[in-house]
């Protein structure tokens, strides 16, 4: 994971494979975080997982989106997702930028 994200992952953080990402370089993990199996992090807009965060299996954090206007839909934009300290995200939940 350190090679994928380009940062040292604290030894207290646990990420259960399989783990899917489109970049990885735009994801940051805090201390003592847990990411269960089958999660997808599309991190172009940036994802920050705080300390002591629990993320259930099959959670999808999607920072990319498309414009609502049909003529602009081919353009992709990213917005960050920041998960604060001690948050718990239940199994299978999707998150998208506003």
Show which residues are catalytic: 66
Q: Give 36: exposed, middle or buried? Use CB within 10 Å, 0-12, 13-18, 19+.
A: middle
C-alpha distances out from residue 70 to 62, 64, 75, 77, 97, Å = 20, 17, 10, 15, 18
């Amino acid at each position: 994971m350190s090679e994928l994200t380009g940062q040292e992952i604290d030894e207290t953080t646990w990420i259960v494979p399989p783990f899917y990402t489109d970049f990885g370089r735009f994801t940051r993990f805090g201390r003592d975080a847990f990411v269960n199996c089958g999660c997808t992090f599309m991190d172009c807009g940036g994802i920050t997982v705080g300390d002591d965060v629990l993320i259930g299996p099959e959670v999808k954090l999607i920072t990319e989106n498309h414009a609502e206007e049909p003529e602009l839909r081919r353009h992709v934009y990213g917005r960050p997702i920041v998960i604060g300290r001690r948050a718990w995200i239940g199994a299978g939940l999707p998150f998208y930028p506003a």
